[in-house]
Chain A
Amino acid sequence: MHTEPADMDIISLVLKGDQNAYSILVDRYKNYVFTIVLRYIKSREDAEEVAQDVFIKAYRSLAAFKGDSKFSTWLYTVTTTTCITFLRKKKLEVHSLDNERVFEVADSVDSGMSANQIEQKSKVNMVNEAIKMLSPDDAQVITLFYKGEQTLEEIAQIMGKEPNAVKVQLHRARGRLKEKMEKYFSAEVRDI
């Protein structure tokens, strides 16, 4: 039976000089990293650049990864710090739940769609849109928990918080997501 090589086996190959083996890790985690980056940086172009930077930084620091945590946890930590550094440097405007402009954007998105278009939007897209309206921290905690296969303890490590604080944030983030879905996508919720 064919099984995919474990992260640590690939890392070991890379550290021994097999540079091409790193492409397996990039392929394995690019969607996760890109999704997390998009929770912070709304522009896809910038997000792609930052996501690439994450993998380059991770490669250069690979020797420092001792395997104390999962590689994904370590990689998402690099992702978070790279995003924060990027935002600090660029001083980009971050869309958040508390930002008035988000409400304007959400309203314009909503009003710009015909009834037919709204009906056609899938449930998945609706949830995705609602996640985009959350603060980066809320969106990240939801993404890491549901898609990143991370435990609360691992998310706490990635975000530099206490596990209990992450647990509370996850509860609240889901609550806020529910509110968003009800407020902006209530028509679709009814249809679904």
Chain B
Amino acid sequence: MKDTFNIPLEEDEIEVKLWEYIDGLAKADEMSAIEKLVQENAEWKAKYQELLEVHESLNLVELEQPSLRFTKNVMEEIARLQIAPAAKQYINSKIIWGIGGFFITVIVSFLVYGLAQIDWSTSQSVNTGVLDKITDADYTKVFNNTFVNVFIMLNVVLGLMLFDRYLNDKKKKLMKEA
């Protein structure tokens, strides 16, 4: 069959051209050529009607519907599977180093102060060690009453509470960003 495409087209090729025309995928010049053939050529017209019917039927097909609980099931599963970010993501390493540094400074300060209090010239029994000398140190010069001790303890507890709150806030913020 000779046609506007200037080459004989087999039935399969006519179908391909017609599908491209129906889908709007043919090139502009081909579109007008096919349109002319559909109007003038009986074979093309019959084939076009046949394919157009299939095309329109497919457009009518409705989507399948899952059960009514579908969305609820998905959302429940998602809520259950919520994964918290890894701990290292929300703990600031600077704070950890800060706390570590604070405790090390306190321990070292006590040791230095204790050692400074020792009278090394005093002769004692052979079994008496350095530790005994440290415990013998007089700390009452620094912490000389109950009020100061309670005050320090209170501050430590408050500090820990504030630190815990800070970490919680940080965790929530990171979870929102994730």
**A interface vs B, CB < 8 Å?**
15-17, 19-20, 22-23, 26-27, 30-32, 34-35, 38, 47-48, 51-52, 55-56, 59-60, 63, 123-124, 126-128, 131, 142, 146-147, 152, 167, 170-171, 174-175, 177-178, 181
Which of A56, A127, A142 touches B77 (beta carbons < 8 Å)?
A: A56
Closest-CB distance, A93 to chain B (whole angstroms): 20
Most chain B CB within 10 A, of A19, A26, A52, is at: A52
The docked-state distance in angstroms from the alpha carbon of A175 to that of B78 is: 42
Give the top 8 A-B pairs by smallest Cβ distance, nearest first.
A17-B176, A31-B63, A34-B66, A35-B64, A55-B74, A35-B63, A127-B57, A146-B58
Are B66 and A26 in contact, CB atoms less than 8 angstroms apart? no
B residues 122-156 near A (Cβ < 8 Å) are none
Q: List 10 A-B contacts (CB under 8 A).
A: A19-B79, A31-B65, A34-B64, A38-B64, A52-B77, A56-B77, A60-B81, A124-B62, A170-B19, A174-B54
Are A48 and B66 in contact, CB atoms less than 8 angstroms apart? yes
Are B63 and A32 in contact, CB atoms less than 8 angstroms apart? yes
- Does B16 lie at the interface of the complex (its beta carbon under 8 Å from any beta carbon of A)? yes
Closest to A51 in B: B66
Closest to B61 in A: A127
Question: Which residues from B are CB-within-8-Å of A35?
Answer: 63-64
Are A56 and B74 in contact, CB atoms less than 8 angstroms apart? yes
Most chain B CB within 10 A, of A19, A26, A27, is at: A26
- Does B5 lie at the interface of the complex (its beta carbon under 8 Å from any beta carbon of A)? no
Are A142 and B78 in contact, CB atoms less than 8 angstroms apart? no
Are A23 and B71 in contact, CB atoms less than 8 angstroms apart? yes
Interface size on B, residues (CB 8 A): 33
The docked-state distance in angstroms from the alpha carbon of A130 to that of B178 is: 45
The docked-state distance in angstroms from the alpha carbon of A38 to that of B60 is: 18
Question: Which residues from A are CB-within-8-Å of B51?
Answer: 174, 178
Question: Which residues from A are CB-within-8-Å of B60?
Answer: 123-124, 127
State whether A19 and B78 are in contact (beta carbons under 8 Å apart), knowing that A146-B59, A177-B54 are contacts in the complex. Answer: yes
Which of A26, A167, A175 touches B75 (beta carbons < 8 Å)?
A: A26
The docked-state distance in angstroms from the alpha carbon of A167 to that of B66 is: 29
- Does B162 lie at the interface of the complex (its beta carbon under 8 Å from any beta carbon of A)? no
20 extra A-B contacts, CB within 8 A, seeds A26-B75, A38-B64, A142-B58: A16-B177, A19-B78, A26-B71, A31-B66, A34-B66, A35-B63, A48-B66, A48-B67, A48-B70, A52-B73, A52-B77, A55-B78, A56-B77, A127-B58, A127-B60, A146-B59, A146-B61, A170-B19, A174-B54, A174-B58
Are B81 and A56 in contact, CB atoms less than 8 angstroms apart? yes
The docked-state distance in angstroms from the alpha carbon of A146 to that of B61 is: 9
The docked-state distance in angstroms from the alpha carbon of A26 to that of B78 is: 12
Question: Which residues from A are CB-within-8-Å of B55?
Answer: 174
State whether A51 and B77 are in contact (beta carbons under 8 Å apart), knowing that A146-B59, A174-B58 are contacts in the complex. Answer: no
Are B70 and A51 in contact, CB atoms less than 8 angstroms apart? yes
Most chain A CB within 10 A, of B15, B59, B63, B82, is at: B63
Are A31 and B64 in contact, CB atoms less than 8 angstroms apart? yes
Question: Which residues from A are CB-within-8-Å of B64?
Answer: 31, 34-35, 38
